[in-house]
């Protein structure tokens, strides 16, 4: 991918996914996009609780850690 076609940091980090959502891919890859998180089968956890269950007692998953949850905080 040419540099002109690379997404900006804002595009990579911004999205409807909570800033507390973490996955191992974030520590292995240089960049993890919102699409990667949504399509990922990797385990996720919440940085706030350090568990697979969020502060609202619901399972932490990329498709569900969105603005509809009361514990949601936007990435940017």
Are 58 and 64 contacting, i.e. CB atoms less than 8 angstroms apart? Answer: yes
Are 73 and 16 contacting, i.e. CB atoms less than 8 angstroms apart? Answer: no
**pLDDT of the residue at 56:** 96
**pLDDT of the residue at 50:** 96
What pTM was computed for the model? 0.66
Alpha-carbon span 62 to 52, nearest angstrom = 11
For residue 44, the 8-state DSSP code is: E
Residue ranges in the chain whose pLDDT is less than 70: 1-15, 29-42
**pLDDT of the residue at 23:** 84
Alpha-carbon span 50 to 21, nearest angstrom = 10
């Amino acid at each position: 991918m040419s540099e002109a076609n690379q997404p900006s940091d804002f595009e990579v980090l911004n999205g409807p996914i909570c800033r507390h959502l973490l996955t191992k891919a974030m520590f292995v890859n240089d960049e993890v996009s919102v699409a990667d998180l949504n399509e990922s089968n990797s385990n996720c956890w919440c940085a706030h609780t350090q568990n697979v269950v969020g502060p609202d007692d619901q399972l932490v998953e990329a498709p569900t850690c969105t603005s509809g949850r009361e514990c949601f905080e936007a990435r940017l």
